[in-house]
Chain A
């Protein structure tokens, strides 16, 4: 079994076709993060996952091997999500995505819970509570100040109460 670092080295030295192994390993993980951040929009999540892997392939040279690969991939996917929201205003509200929602949708569903949160709050809240990221890691991933992250978490929790 090859480590992520070995696969990345193979991609850089022997050809990007080795990147297929990385996609196979992390496609569901990245897709899961996107599903939560987009509040269950399957098609948008698939698009974002695809965009994230394509961008990761393009910028693989800049990957810092001291970091975990899946964290880097999630960071790229989140940037794709933010760009999409900003440029195309493609974000769809929970009401609109209900038809596209395939997963079980109960009254106490996570998607319903995060409904009042903004996109940035959703990203931070999901990474913090569902993926157990530390505040420092979130700050690093989103290129934000740690105090800003803390205040956004606080604000999100107030909204959810």
Chain B
């Protein structure tokens, strides 16, 4: 039992240190900061409503576009000619949504780094 106690006492005195604790700390913080997060902003809800309303109002165009989507391969020029405006309007709305989302305040977020 003396040998057992000796080993335990030696082990208790032994200090283990990370090779580079400061780098380790920074690395962990960077990893935590880069973790994926989900957030819902008021702009998301607003644009969800806008897309729903616009989609419902012009549902005939949406269904027609989906039904004739094969034209994009068979006859791309015809497809662009017929659906140019709906496609441009959709891209415009998506671009506007994307740019506004960057500037809007956060409504809900799982990202803890957003709290300041």
Contact = CB atoms under 8 A, between A and B. Distances in A.
* Number of chain B interface residues as a range: 20 to 34
Interface residues of A, number: 31
Contacts of B22: 24
A59 B96 CA distance: 36
Contacts of A24: 21-22, 25
Main secondary structure on B side of the interface with A: helix
B25 A27 contact: yes
Main secondary structure on A side of the interface with B: helix
Contact of A57 (B12, B15, B18, B112): B112
Interface string A70-89: 00000000000000000000
B31 A130 contact: no
B10 interface: yes
Contacts of B35: 54
Interface of B: 3-4, 6-8, 10-12, 14-18, 21-22, 24-25, 27-29, 31-32, 35, 112-116
